[in-house]
Chain A
Amino acid sequence: MSSRLNTSRAAAWGTALFASALALTACSGAGGGAGDSSADSGTITELTLATVNNPQMVDMEQLKGEFEADHPDIKVNFIQMEENDLRDAVTKDIATQGGQYDILTIGAYEVRLWQQNDWIVNLSQWADDDAEYDIDDLFPPVRTSVSVDDDLYAAPFYGESSFLMYNRDIISEAGITVPERPTWQEVAAMAKQVDTDDHAGICLRGKPGWGEGIASLNTVVNTFGGSWFDMDWNAQVDQEGFRKALTFWSETIRDSGEADPVSYGFTECLNLFTQGKAAFWYDATSAAGSVEDPDLSEVAGNVGYVHAPVVETDESGWLWSWNLAIPKTSQKQEAAWEFIKWATGKDYASLVGNELGWSRVPPGARLSTYDIPEYQEAAGAFADITKETMLSVNPEHPGVNPQPYVGIQFITIPEWQDLGNSASQVFAEVYAGRKSVDDALAEVQELAQKAGDAQK
């Protein structure tokens, strides 16, 4: 009997060890991969580029062969990530001087903060000397947002504001006319009218993460007369304007929004809308390129675009740009600039247009893009409104009240990433019906005050 027991015990341990080994193998699969260099890396400069997995960046990876053909001594490896993951990964890397990447895709929020910390390379040393690069052709508000003292610290790849998109079929079937400059109340009423089991009335972001969950909401807060801080950095989250905005946003999501708001950010709404399963969608102007591409979208050519809805302000779009920057830790800065020059240069628009389709050209970065006849024709539905909105927003004073920082859908302080993320999680509980608006605002007010105190 005892020998049998020994056998069974050995079998149990053996199986356990085997299973644990399998578990370890599975874990190691998750971590490996990046940063391999080929045998001939002595002659070829390999660049590692971290970027967000938005369609325009996916296109850039698809076209990188053109760059590599012109520059046989440079190879570019792309690491594509979701917005939240990208931000975490690159911030961690640069703040700890990790040096994993040679080119970073960073947003307008990071540029100024990172420049202050002396983390990114001044690109003007190359851009100013290169007449072909034509820095004056960059979209003025975007150029301002990535410059400090007129020096360029990141090269805009594309710029965007926000606007309201609608599915023409669904809207005209309901006998509705969407005004060119609607109010949020009008939009909520129209969305409710067209909401059915088959499609959502409107798709609004509710996914946690400051970039995902707070961007859209902040423009609503601004136009409802709310704000995060007063001029002395006292938190204003529990005040009337913010309360009205959050109440409106959560009620609209509940009444006529997508079914699973906590899962829905930009990509999810893009999928829903392009499948014809949402009547309205309030989001980035850069979405239009994908919405109008017949290969990607079932509603291409059938979408209307109007200004971001307002309540108390004249305009309520946001201002954002995705930019390419070189971390100071990179050992391959010259090669990195070569790639950035190609990807953000004047000719890139034509390359995308000819190779992949004109509606997929990255918008809002270069004025010359808007002079290309093919682009005007392909992007006629949304090009003008994008340009107009981007030139009419005011990042220094987007809301009703004055604010002590520059930024529309974000606050340019180091604590914002944390505050925005935490706040978005609290607000997600409101969308899910597990928390009241008042409780959520009281909780976020406390978090915001802590961040505000750090600025005093």
Chain B
Amino acid sequence: MTGMVGGTVLLAVLSGAVRSSTPYLFVSLGECLTEKSGRTNLGQEGILVLGAMVGYAGSYETGSAWAGVLLAGFAGSALGALHALCCQLRRVNDVAVGIALILLGTGLAFLFGKPFIQPSAPMLSALSLGWWAVDPSIRAALRVNELFLVGIGVAVAMHLFFLRTRWGLIVRTVGGNAEAARALGYSVNGVRLAATTAGAFLSGMGGSFLSLFYPGSWTESLSNGQGLIAVALVIFARWQPLRCLWAALMFGGAEAIGPALQAIGLSEVYYVVAAAPYVLTLIIMAISCAPGRRAAGAPGELKIA
């Protein structure tokens, strides 16, 4: 019996990881790219929510879910570019701009999202990788969305980009030591603008996953802080794209623990278990930001690390 319960919860957590990790993955990869260039963009939450709304609206208006995903990316990158441009002004703090961006992004999404709460937009489809399984819950767990696979591809590509390419090296130089980059003749602001904009494109795409696949609807309470958690997740991943993948899967799984335990009748501790993703974030922050400890792997120009 214990084994069966354990198996059920394990399956729920694993399938939850596959279902819920994609927004974490995209936002953390976007933030990873931004932070590697030496800036923190806390506005990812606003970009995520705007991406969710634009993705849904775009899919509804064009009739193609993938067009919605692209439009969500562009909406995200517009906010990202705004962040980068504001931060170029003298004595502007990137963290403060990020917080303003959270409010701007969610505000725009709520304002323009009103007419799209009711209609049903075309959704992203899923690949049924569990066709071989007899158990319907395994089959349901293996309904994987293409965007998740795209995310894995982006993580690998970004890993190679930083490690193997000249452009990756330039981004790392700008993020590690802006003076050195300037001395080498690179435009620090230009690189940061490009990195933040491209990063926000990914975050916007992550938002469209929320509205176009899972949970799969546009409502104003769609994100419960996933964008902010993803920023913390980058620190946990030590600014390495491949680690972002594992960290995102872990947070996705943590979201599934609460409902999974209640579904098998272990409901006594639901408030505690429901807090799992947030507790996990706190633990990570406590470990990685203890006084006197500089987070290993942090870009040198980053202010909050």
Q: Do A and B bind each other?
A: no
* A contact residues vs B (CB 8 Å cutoff): none
* B contact residues vs A (CB 8 Å cutoff): none
